[in-house]
A and B are shown apart, each in its own frame.
Chain A
């Protein structure tokens, strides 16, 4: 009861803080003339990026063409302008701000990987950046150099890198002169209709009143999801990577102390952390590993346990409020790696029976074989593919649902302009978010369990001994 109350109050405070934060951001961006008075509340106070001495609001579009129009309108009477990027490099442009609340964009931004570890859009922990640049080779620096602000957009640039929505982008324009520290006035996007009928979003950074096309980091999606190879590969330990390391370490420490207890307190009843981990361990062993793998379960048990606790730990880590709502297991890259490992282990351990069933299914007539063989071969690859998609989809969907409910505050509160609306939104968001969080807690366990049990079943099918077919 006390804990529920605690969660409720935390949630309320966080939502109010969200609203306040939003209000501040929109507030001080349009009153460029008075920004010195905002030193107390603007990002610099919360930023842990080594640039706290700087006043970020100074880099906003204040002082430019329409700085006067912001005052008194609280941002909403703001005259909309649209940059028309005639060329990709050097088109004169002005920083453009979307004043409305964009739920889709916000949700996707919050569940995406980033080069800064942002907690509640307030605390921004800079992470190391490791970039492989095709012209300059490996480069190391801290993302603190970008001075990330609202929406994790960097206020500064480093060399030809800028930070847009938490991710490092590169300006590849030949006429662009970067330095170790320069101001980035803002970012803008333009939708381009491509020949194949796909809409491509072009992103621009505005530096010195000119727009420069941004190139995003290399994405291995063969162009299917709007990515592709680019001129640099980001090898940085991102938010997801840091979370993985932290969760792995926590799990390792927990399990290490539990494992030690078996020798130090041998013969005694389990206690402490051992008593928490042992039932889960035994559950996976007795209800997942042994039913599918039988006598061979001891060989594969470490992998199954690793998968289960890695996924569970990261699922739960992503759901703890105020830890950045990291979406590691909802990231296709991470689930793909796990699925590939499962695929490799299954394939290596497949016995003669397994391959025979795929390549020449016994006890079937020839015409059935002709249909069955391609299906079986495809099945080999579809199995890990479904593992990968199921986990990523479920966890991402959960995060989106929670973010959407929190987003009600901004939708009702007109992006922080109306306090009454914000309160209504908060009143709505609290029960919905609590409900969703409860569901997600179940999903965290279920998805970890499903991934593990399917892995066990694939391994079981690959190593099963067939004695007789009748």
Chain B
């Protein structure tokens, strides 16, 4: 107690009490109004900005991911389409080729057939002509022979003709 009795820092004095009350309250008011509140707001704004920026970045990332997925599906689709198209094209080619082949074959057949027909016809015509000529020549020959031998008799003529007709060249 003797020590405390002389311990001036622990003796509450009205002057210091009054001054500290006034200074502290004034300091509190001034700091609140001009320093702490603007700081609080500034910090809050900044934190909100950062939060927003982060959220936006997240969103952008998500969108990017979505876009990527979309791109991939589009790409896959395209790939599929391409494959389908290629397949179709291949099929078409095969069809065309086979059709062409068939047609060519047909054509060739047709040409061959017609050629054969013509040849046959020609052959027939030629044979007919030869037959006719041979007939004529035989008739003339026979005429001459008969004229010479028998003087011309109609029985002989028809007989000769009958002989010529029987002379089938086939």
Q: Which chain A residue shows the least CB distance to B32?
A: A302
Report A278 CB to chain B, min CB distance, Å: 7
B1-45 at interface with A (beta carbon < 8 Å): 1-21, 23-28, 30-32, 34-43, 45
**Given A245-B23, A255-B39, A337-B20, is A108 in contact with B14 using a C-beta cutoff of 8 Å?**
no
Give chain B residues whose Cβ lies under 8 Å from the Cβ of A233: 14-15
CA distance A105 to B7 in the complex (A): 9
CA distance A251 to B15 in the complex (A): 23
**Given A241-B19, A259-B38, A333-B20, is A113 in contact with B8 using a C-beta cutoff of 8 Å?**
yes
CA distance A338 to B8 in the complex (A): 19
Contact with A along B127-143 (1 / 0, CB 8 A): 00000000000000000
Give chain A residues whose Cβ lies under 8 Å from the Cβ of B5: 198-201, 225-226
B23–A244 touching, CB < 8 Å? yes
B49 CB-CB contact with A under 8 Å: yes
A260 CB-CB contact with B under 8 Å: yes
Interface of B is mostly: helix
B61 CB-CB contact with A under 8 Å: no
A262–B9 touching, CB < 8 Å? no
Give chain A residues whose Cβ lies under 8 Å from the Cβ of B37: 302
A112 CB-CB contact with B under 8 Å: yes
CA distance A226 to B1 in the complex (A): 9
Q: Which chain A residue shows the least CB distance to B19?
A: A241
A220–B19 touching, CB < 8 Å? no
CA distance A331 to B17 in the complex (A): 10
A111 CB-CB contact with B under 8 Å: yes
B105 CB-CB contact with A under 8 Å: no
CA distance A337 to B8 in the complex (A): 17
Give chain A residues whose Cβ lies under 8 Å from the Cβ of B16: 113, 238, 240-241, 331, 333-334
Contact with B along A215-239 (1 / 0, CB 8 A): 0011111000111000001111110
B31–A302 touching, CB < 8 Å? yes
User: Which of B14, B15, B23, B38 has the most chain A CB atoms closer than 10 A to its own CB?
Assistant: B15
B93 CB-CB contact with A under 8 Å: no
User: Which of A113, A310, A334 has the most chain B CB atoms closer than 10 A to its own CB?
Assistant: A334
Give chain B residues whose Cβ lies under 8 Å from the Cβ of A278: 39, 43
B27 contacts which of A226, A310, A334 (Cβ < 8 Å)? A310
A158-207 at interface with B (beta carbon < 8 Å): 167, 198-201
A338–B24 touching, CB < 8 Å? yes
Report A139 CB to chain B, min CB distance, Å: 13
A305 CB-CB contact with B under 8 Å: yes
A432 CB-CB contact with B under 8 Å: no
A221–B11 touching, CB < 8 Å? yes
CA distance A305 to B37 in the complex (A): 10
User: Which of A240, A337, A341 has the most chain B CB atoms closer than 10 A to its own CB?
Assistant: A337
CA distance A375 to B5 in the complex (A): 30
B82 CB-CB contact with A under 8 Å: no
- Residues of B in contact, count (CB < 8 Å): 43
Contact with B along A275-310 (1 / 0, CB 8 A): 001100110010000000000001001110110011
B17–A301 touching, CB < 8 Å? no
B12–A252 touching, CB < 8 Å? no
CA distance A310 to B39 in the complex (A): 17
A428 CB-CB contact with B under 8 Å: no
CA distance A151 to B3 in the complex (A): 19
A262–B17 touching, CB < 8 Å? no
B79 CB-CB contact with A under 8 Å: no
A235–B12 touching, CB < 8 Å? no
B46 CB-CB contact with A under 8 Å: yes
- Residues of A in contact, count (CB < 8 Å): 69
Q: Which chain B residue shows the least CB distance to A228?
A: B11
**Given A237-B19, A241-B16, A334-B16, is A225 in contact with B11 using a C-beta cutoff of 8 Å?**
yes
Report B4 CB to chain A, min CB distance, Å: 5
Give chain B residues whose Cβ lies under 8 Å from the Cβ of A130: 15
Give chain B residues whose Cβ lies under 8 Å from the Cβ of A67: none
B36–A302 touching, CB < 8 Å? yes
B40–A301 touching, CB < 8 Å? yes
A220–B12 touching, CB < 8 Å? yes
B17 contacts which of A112, A200, A337 (Cβ < 8 Å)? A337
B9–A327 touching, CB < 8 Å? yes
B21 contacts which of A221, A298, A301, A337 (Cβ < 8 Å)? A337
CA distance A259 to B42 in the complex (A): 8
Give chain B residues whose Cβ lies under 8 Å from the Cβ of A105: 6
Report A284 CB to chain B, min CB distance, Å: 10
Give chain A residues whose Cβ lies under 8 Å from the Cβ of B15: 130, 217, 233-236, 238, 241
B17–A336 touching, CB < 8 Å? yes
Give chain A residues whose Cβ lies under 8 Å from the Cβ of B27: 248, 251-252, 306, 310
Q: Which chain A residue shows the least CB distance to B10?
A: A332
Give chain A residues whose Cβ lies under 8 Å from the Cβ of B17: 220, 333, 336-337
Give chain A residues whose Cβ lies under 8 Å from the Cβ of B1: 198
New A-B pairs, 8, CB < 8 Å, besides A108-B6, A255-B34, A396-B9: A167-B8, A226-B4, A236-B15, A252-B31, A260-B38, A330-B9, A332-B11, A333-B11
Residue contacts A-B, CB under 8 angstroms, 29 given: A201-B6, A218-B14, A219-B11, A219-B13, A225-B7, A234-B15, A235-B14, A238-B15, A238-B16, A238-B19, A244-B23, A248-B27, A252-B34, A255-B35, A256-B35, A262-B45, A263-B38, A277-B39, A281-B43, A282-B43, A285-B40, A302-B31, A305-B36, A306-B27, A306-B36, A309-B31, A333-B20, A338-B24, A392-B9
The 5 closest A-B pairs by CB, nearest first: A262-B42, A226-B5, A255-B35, A302-B32, A112-B8
